Amino acid sequence: MIILGDRYLFSQVEIERLSKQFDGMVHISYKDISVSNIINKIEKLIKEKNSSIIILNTKAILSPEIITYLKKLEIKAIQYITIEKFLEKYLHKCLISEDLKDTSFLENIHSYTPFQYFQKRVIDYITIIILFIPTILTIIYSKYRVNQESPGSLFFRQLRVGRGKKEFCCIKLRSMSLDAEKDGAKFASDNDPRAFPWGNTLRYSKLDELIQIWNVFKGEMHFVGPRPERKIWIQEFEKSIPYYNQRAVVAPGITGLAQIKYQYGSGKLDAEQKLMYDLYYIKNWSIKLELEIIWKTAIFVLTKKRENLSNF
């Protein structure tokens, strides 16, 4: 695999995933290099590495000479693909365009059709039925542990932003001390010191989110969808991340593509990466994708190993 240009920087996790599908990744810069040198480098790599795909990862418009050369390579069964299409096909994420005038990639990002919504609600209700007993048992045992470790309310309620940027009361089992935000709003983190022992277990196992099937039942959430964020963070992200508000065209979910494909994180960089997965999910929604996410979520919750998800 030959990567031509520097527009998108692949993360180490993505490189590891792609290495399982391709023999190797070789980068060629497109900046300050003559067309003849680029062609010579590609020709050499094709012979040495037996590369069969070239990724057009450039911000600049390719020269006519490069395009003509790539067309000739197609005859030799060597394909080329834009970085946008490559990311969607192999990494299941939509590249966010830095060119605010180019909104073509948003054309298929819209709310669910009536039939799609019906299918999602059927899946939601089936999931609620399956998770009802585990949720009740978790609530009962959590009440016992919370009374011992952090007396106070068992449930944690917080306003989150849903479809159409409308706020709703999202409910979770409380995993942190009552004064967790005495110094103001802040992102949670792995092994967060504000969490009490059983709260850490709840967070690590994701059991604290089971109670959100109540939000799903009320229609405020789906089982699968973009994670609901707080208004304070959304307002911050919308200032620096193009098209961040597009997540709100659908209702949020308990789990989602971003949750199983991207490591736990917070801040602008993580929000932008998760948005790419959320946009792909909305753009390419299908029953097959929905069920795959549910299945992979179950695998991750049971094993806590993301490598088990690498084939998705």
- Which pLDDT score, from 0 to 100, does residue 264 have? 65
Note whether residue 14 is domain-resident: yes
Q: Quick one: residue 219, left, alpha or beta (phi over 0 = left, psi -120 to 50 = alpha)? A: left
* Domain identity same for 153 and 283: yes
- Verify that 185 and 135 share a domain, yes or no: yes
Chain-centroid distance of CA 170 in Å reads 20
Instruction: Tell me the HSE value of 46 on the side-chain side, using a 13 A CA sphere.
Output: 18
Tell me the torsion sign for CA atoms 275, 88, 107, 120. negative
What's the pLDDT at 61?
85
Co-location of 61 and 200 in the same domain? no
CA dihedral over 66, 70, 71, 76, signed as positive or negative: positive
Q: What is the pLDDT of residue 187?
A: 62
**Is 56 found in the same domain as 190?**
no
Burial class (CB in 10 A: 0-12, 13-18, 19+), 74: exposed
What is the pTM assigned to this prediction?
Answer: 0.89
| Cα–Cα distance, 122 to 223 (Å, whole number) | 11
Where does residue 115 rank: exposed (0-12), middle (13-18), buried (19+ CB within 10 A)? exposed
Do 148 and 286 sit in the same domain of this protein? yes
The residue range of the domain holding 59 is: 2-91
Q: Is residue 225 part of a domain?
A: yes
Domain assignment present for residue 101? The answer is no
Are residue 159 and residue 223 in the same domain, yes or no? yes
- Examine residue 98 and state whether it is found in any structural domain, yes or no: no
- Digit-by-digit pLDDT tens for the chain (312 residues) are 899 999 999 988 888 888 888 888 888 988 888 889 999 999 888 888 777 899 999 988 888 999 999 999 888 888 999 999 999 999 999 998 776 666 777 778 899 999 999 999 999 999 999 999 999 999 999 999 999 998 889 999 999 999 999 999 999 999 888 766 666 666 665 667 788 888 888 888 889 999 999 999 999 999 999 999 999 999 999 998 988 999 999 999 999 999 998 876 667 888 999 999 999 999 999 999 999 999 999 998 888 765 555 566
Q: How far apart are CA 278 and CA 238, in angstroms?
A: 15
Domain match, 156 and 262 both: yes
Number of domains in the chain: 2
Q: How far is CA 214 from CA 58, 128, 165, 239, in A?
A: 46, 8, 20, 32
Residues 77 and 178 occupy one common structural domain: no
Residues 131, 66, single domain; the answer is no
Tokens of 9: 């920087």
Residues 297, 259 contacting (CB under 8 angstroms): yes
Single residue among 56, 91, 126 that ends a domain in this structure: 91
What distances in angstroms separate CA 226 from CA 7, 39, 200, 244, one per listed residue?
A: 26, 42, 23, 11
Is residue 51, in this structure, part of any structural domain at all?
A: yes
**Residue 106 in domain:** no
Q: Is 294 within a domain?
A: yes
209 shares its domain with 75: no
Indicate whether 34 and 176 sit together in one domain.
no
DSSP state of 274: H
Would you state the structure tokens that stand for residue 238, as one six-digit string?
């919308």
Q: In this structure, is the dihedral angle defined by the CA atoms of residues 189, 90, 94 and 301, taken in order, positive or negative?
A: negative
Q: How many helices (H) and strands (E) does the chain have?
A: 11, 8
Q: Are residues 65 and 120 in the same domain?
A: no
Considering only CA atoms, which of 269, 266, 274, 260 is closest in space to residue 310?
Answer: 260
Domain contains 108: no
